[in-house]
Amino acid sequence: MTINESIGFIGLGSMGKPMAENLLAAGYRLRVFNRSPDKAASLAEMGATVVSAPADTAETGGIVMSCVADDDALETIVGRSDELTERLGQGGIHVSMSTILPETADRLSRRHAVRGGYYVAAPVMGRPDLVKAGGQSYYVAGNAKAKERIRPVLEKIGAQIFDFGENPADANTAKLGANFLIAASIEAMSEAFALVEKNGVDPSALHEALSSTLFACPIYQNYGRNILDAAYRTPLFKLALGLKDIRLISRTADASGTPMRFASVLKDRFLSAMAHGRSDYDWTGIAAEIRDEAGL
Amino acid sequence: MTINESIGFIGLGSMGKPMAENLLAAGYRLRVFNRSPDKAASLAEMGATVVSAPADTAETGGIVMSCVADDDALETIVGRSDELTERLGQGGIHVSMSTILPETADRLSRRHAVRGGYYVAAPVMGRPDLVKAGGQSYYVAGNAKAKERIRPVLEKIGAQIFDFGENPADANTAKLGANFLIAASIEAMSEAFALVEKNGVDPSALHEALSSTLFACPIYQNYGRNILDAAYRTPLFKLALGLKDIRLISRTADASGTPMRFASVLKDRFLSAMAHGRSDYDWTGIAAEIRDEAGL
Amino acid sequence: MTINESIGFIGLGSMGKPMAENLLAAGYRLRVFNRSPDKAASLAEMGATVVSAPADTAETGGIVMSCVADDDALETIVGRSDELTERLGQGGIHVSMSTILPETADRLSRRHAVRGGYYVAAPVMGRPDLVKAGGQSYYVAGNAKAKERIRPVLEKIGAQIFDFGENPADANTAKLGANFLIAASIEAMSEAFALVEKNGVDPSALHEALSSTLFACPIYQNYGRNILDAAYRTPLFKLALGLKDIRLISRTADASGTPMRFASVLKDRFLSAMAHGRSDYDWTGIAAEIRDEAGL
Amino acid sequence: MTINESIGFIGLGSMGKPMAENLLAAGYRLRVFNRSPDKAASLAEMGATVVSAPADTAETGGIVMSCVADDDALETIVGRSDELTERLGQGGIHVSMSTILPETADRLSRRHAVRGGYYVAAPVMGRPDLVKAGGQSYYVAGNAKAKERIRPVLEKIGAQIFDFGENPADANTAKLGANFLIAASIEAMSEAFALVEKNGVDPSALHEALSSTLFACPIYQNYGRNILDAAYRTPLFKLALGLKDIRLISRTADASGTPMRFASVLKDRFLSAMAHGRSDYDWTGIAAEIRDEAGL
């Protein structure tokens, strides 16, 4: 609790806020910014300094962490005239934890380099409940020294760090690959459960068998349970955000000339879920689409 | 080693043979049959009695286990004139471990009932290497007393038994659901790995991150490793058999009115793998198709 | 009107009946059979002889035409013990106008050959309204002499005959290819119309442009109009029968190792249409599914 | 030949050049611009004035026609600082014949309006050979008076004009719908031909039957012939441009929340065709992909 290092933190949404709280609890001093300032109030009570512009979270040569909704929000934070990179200056580090396009990471990385700073991609893997408990992992890529410097910070608030090398975009690419696999497993489980239910078999029995043997891992255990309980009306990760990620996956696949048939099915699936008013469901809620389609 | 109970065993393929060997090692006496008799020779050396017709493996009120390639092979074993069910007679049990259509299980179950016997579906989950080590699990469904009687036999040679109730077909339905999920995860991983590789990221790094966190389970760990090592030229479960299972899944989905978009992608994928001469690959070999498609 | 030749006719459904009527009107004498005899009444009034078994429509060396619902119905007509082929005897011809599997045609063809008779596949292309007007075409395949003999009969009641050679199954294969193209164009138009409508453009304007230039042909003109008018609640060709054909296409593709991605989409599409209670819609009614999916 | 009206023309590619030539032949005076000036040489010989910047093709209140490769090229022509719209000034008309995103048309339309000018979308339907013969059609949308003024020009060089109302983007939306239908029919025919060929039936026989009856229209007749003759190595419309259009379709579908399953199949199909080095094939060349996939 005597760290007393000072860090900038931008983006106090459902993912960012618990991370910021855990940083404060771990003894860091924070300068926080959020687009809608009310979300910063509780952090101020915990001792954070609330600033009124993204660039104001930065100190020369310091560290700024950001966790925002999408590529556009991130570009806005960096600023049209590179206000943030200028304030971070020589040796400053921007730790970007958002799930964005690799090409956006590329572009931002170059803009930080102009001022002698570093852009480290560190997309976070885990949903708000996991983040609160400090169980999330980080897919990290960027300059080796910068990564070394931020490692203790991330280790204080997360469970695991996976290193994807020196090119920031690579962590984002990997994150998209991981998110694709989660979405694909939601679709696959939903189809399997629909199949057995339509044939008079309790899908929970199948789930129990699978999730204690071949598929004994969090995604199949927890997401599977969620699907079976039709618990997707309470979102942990909103379906609309899931579509956002599917779009990033689809664009990255397209730009790199990678046909991805499962991803194509997912794109259409999420679009119809949105058309049916399920944007605020959890993204396991595509199961509801699959059930509808089967007349269940 | 003093069990000395006598059991019939039909089908000494890559799955059946290690099971029969483990039964002998566990002290059971076996009457074995295999279509091509040479495969029975080594079992004879271990003490098994080799018989010359499927029905000759049966004793009135006894147990016969079968593990054959497909629905047709199983129908052939039971015999046009129900030779097997007749010999099994009142109280006899046919433990059918093959992956077949639920509707075939239904039909055979009725034919066994005519003679006062029981058909217990017990499709086996695991590949030959796992079976050898006794690590496979069984999806079991059928008459409660019959299941009780065969339980000690299965427990001697396998790791886990999952009960799907009294209707034999239900175990087969569940097995198809499980196999679908395996095939879907092969496709999904292959697409994810292709995506990151086309974007210059080492897919092994992604695999390591995933298989130690969200997807820390045998399928993602082992099949994933297999895909990355392009180890699919040595089949543990042949692609041609994978297509057989996909066809069973597709037919069961169709008959029950269950649209399954991922299963449809898999059907086309396996068909093109066959067209490209990959029938003898392991079924993870659809990864080679996905790589080709991406120009990798 | 003085032909006076005598022909057997089996199957007086929505397709068969107008053909039989047109044959009577053209001067042929008919022995007719229909599973539910009431449908034969009006034909009796027109002069047809109503018989009580399929085989009774046949005369040694004569011609029997059949038009039934599916493969099973056709097998039933021929009879378990080949009653029909026996009665047709040496030189008799069975003109089979149903849309069935090529492999069924193969099998039936061999059974007719045993008695010295001929099986000529002549699946009919056209819906009841077209058949009434004599506008349908026939895809014909079989023995050259047999085809020559039946040609004048078909020409009396249909518009065009397309010859697919000496192997009966080939006409059925071609018919499945044609039906696939129709179904695919229904899906494609429905998607295109949904796309433009979701973007605020009148799909009728697009239809007018297309169907008077690049796509100026009956399918795009008539089916397109049907889709735009949402006229699919009045079936000309029932969606449930459409699914039957999609299944034949899918099975033939599978058996021959032909991946067909559009056909796979169609299979899932028709299954969900059935699950949503649209079996009695016209098959253009999959447009309703596509509209639902887009939230229209 | 005595029209003597003066028009600007931008973009002398395989589509633009024959249009410009036909305009000159019809008696119009042209100021032409092309990025690579050599293509303008032959037009200069025919009497065109070659200018060195897109904006130089414009006269206050005049007409400028453009036909360029894609959205970016079109934005470049209009210029960062709206050079073109400024020069066109009050009452000037930009007739944009490119296939672009509806949203690009929206944006450009607003920019022209600022200067009191008009942006009329008039995407051209037809390939170079058709354009040369004056057989192409135009999908036109924009201000009514502007459309009236350009109508005689378009009628001089094209066969038909279809009006999509006052909102320029609507013509582009319709064009994407039309191009989608063409691509879908290429895939559908290729699949049907593969199916029958794999079953031993000559696809030409099926094509003849279809293209003289239900599908008796240019796309099925000409594109179908092209596929059967494997004539796709000589591009009339390059596969890479086809992918560009599929991308526009996919983006427009996505942005408007329209799931399009056939379009998704096409996206993956074109991507793999590109990965296999077929970018310079005609877009009917996806047939080669479908043949490969079936082992033909």
What CATH number is attached to the domain comprising A189?
1.10.1040.10
Which of A165, A190, A205 is a domain's end point? A165
Say if residue A1's pLDDT is above 90.
Answer: no
Say if residues C113 and C93 touch (Cβ distance below 8 Å).
no
Which residues from chain A sit within 8 angstroms of residue C272, using beta carbons?
293-295
Could you say which of D139, D166, D193 is where a domain stops? D166
In this complex, the residue of D268, D274, D293 whose CB is nearest that of residue B272 is D293
CB–CB of C137/C160 below 8 Å?
yes
pLDDT in tens, A243-282: 999 999 999 999 999 999 999 999 999 999 999 999 999 9
Q: Tell whether D10 and D138 lie within a shared domain.
A: yes
Binding partners of A (≥3 Cβ pairs within 8 A): B, C, D
User: What is the distance between the alpha carbons of residues C10 and C65, in angstroms, rounded to a whole number?
Assistant: 6
Sheet architecture: strand order including A137-140? A124-125, A137-140, A160-163
Residues B92, B145, single domain; the answer is: yes
- Here the ipTM equals 0.96
- The catalytic residue among C145, C175, C244, C267 is C175
- Span B172-190, pLDDT tens digits: 999 999 999 999 999 999 9
3-state secondary structure of B128: helix
Please, are residues D217 and D180 in contact by the beta-carbon 8 Å criterion? no
Dig out the tokens for C27 from the structure: 């001067």
Asked whether residue D123 falls in the same domain as residue D205, the answer is no
User: How far is it, in rounded angstroms, from Cα B221 to Cα B234?
Assistant: 18
Please determine, for residue B121, whether its predicted confidence score (pLDDT) is greater than 80.
yes
Mean pLDDT for all residues in chain B: 95
C18-54 confidence digits (pLDDT tens): 999 999 999 999 999 999 888 899 999 999 999 999 9
Task: State the nearest Cα–Cα gap between B13 and chain D, in angstroms.
Answer: 30
* A259 lies in some domain: yes
* Listed residue (A105, A30, A23, A40) closest to A62, CA to CA: A30
Q: How high is the pLDDT of residue C132?
A: 93
Neighbours of C157 (CB within 10 A): 21
Do A140 and A207 lie in a common domain? no
D276·B295 Cβ contact <8 A: yes
Q: Are residues D202 and D105 in the same domain?
A: no
Report the half-sphere exposure of D210 (CA within 13 A, side-chain side): 30
Task: Compute and round to an integer the Cα radius of gyration of chain B.
Answer: 20
Q: Distance from CA of residue C51 to its chain's centroid?
A: 24
**Do C11 and C154 sit in the same domain of this protein?**
yes
Residue C2 pLDDT greater than 60, yes or no: no
How much is the pLDDT for D238?
95
Q: How many residues are present in chain B?
A: 296
What predicted TM-score, i.e. pTM, was given to this entire model? 0.96
Q: Tell me: do C159 and C184 sit in the same domain.
A: no
- What's the pLDDT band for A81 if we cut at 50, 70, 90? confident
The pLDDT value given to residue A4: 67
How close A263 comes to chain C (CA, Å)? 15
| Domain annotation covers residue C66 | yes
B-chain residues near A163 (CB < 8 A): 205
User: Quick check: is C1 in a domain?
Assistant: no
**Whether residue B14 sits in one domain with residue B132:** yes
Which pLDDT does position C231 carry in this prediction? 95
C44-98 residue pLDDT tens: 999 999 999 999 999 999 999 999 999 999 999 998 889 999 999 999 999 999 9
Report CA torsion sign: A171, A175, A181, A182. Answer: positive
In-domain check, residue A157:
yes
For range C123-135, the mean pLDDT = 93
Residue B1, pLDDT > 60, answer no
Supply the pLDDT for residue B197.
Answer: 98
Q: Which residues of C touch B (CB under 8 A)?
A: 247, 253-254, 257-261, 264-265, 267-269, 271-272, 274-275
Chain C nearest CA to A51, separation (Å): 42
Question: Are A5 and A31 within 8 A, CB to CB?
Answer: no
Q: Based on the domain organization, do C246 and C130 belong to the same domain?
A: no
Name the pLDDT band for B2 (thresholds 50, 70, 90).
Answer: low
Does A184 contact B188 at a Cβ distance shorter than 8 Å? yes
D11: left (phi over 0), alpha (psi -120 to 50) or beta: left
Return the structure tokens found at C127: 């819906």
For tokens 């934070």, what's the residue? Answer: A77
Q: Is the pLDDT of residue C198 over 80?
A: yes
Q: How many domains does chain C have?
A: 2
C267 contacts B254 by C-beta, under 8 angstroms: yes
Low-confidence ranges of chain D (pLDDT < 70): 1-4
Q: Do C191 and D261 touch (CB under 8 A)?
A: yes
Of D166, D197, D225, which closes a domain? Answer: D166
Query: Are D140 and D209 in the same domain?
Result: no
Residue type, B271: L
Give the rounded percent of residues in chain C with a pLDDT score beyond 70: 99
**Is residue C186 in some structural domain?**
yes
Specify if A19 maps to a domain: yes
Please name the residue ranges forming H helices in chain C. 16-25, 41-45, 71-78, 83-88, 102-114, 128-132, 144-157, 168-198, 203-211, 218, 224-228, 239-255, 261-275, 286-293
Tell whether A1 is covered by a domain: no
What mean pLDDT do residues C221-230 have? 97
Chain centroid offset of residue D268 CA? 22
Q: Domain range holding B287?
A: 172-293
pLDDT tens digits for range C255-275? 999 999 999 999 999 999 999
Contact flag B247-C257 (C-beta cutoff 8 Å): no
Residues B148 and B88 in one domain: yes
- CB-based contact C196 D177, cutoff 8 Å: yes
Strand, helix or coil for residue A147: helix
What's the N-to-C CA distance of chain A in angstroms? 54
Answer whether residue A147 is part of any domain.
yes
Which residues from B are below 8 Å from A173, CB to CB? 195-196, 199-201
Closest Cβ–Cβ partner in A275, A276, A295 for C275:
A295
Tokens of A155: 């280790």
For residue A114, the distance in angstroms to the closest alpha carbon of chain D comes to: 25
Cα–Cα distance for residue pair B57/B51, rounded to 1 Å: 7
Phi, psi of C131 (to 5 degrees): -65, -40
Question: What pLDDT is attached to residue A80?
Answer: 86
B227 and B137 in a single domain? The answer is: no
Q: How far apart are CA B254 and CA A199, in angstroms?
A: 11
Mutation target among C269, C293, C296 for the A interface, most CBs of A within 10 A: C293
> Which CATH number goes with the domain that contains C107?
3.40.50.720
- Residue A18 has which token pair? 């618990």
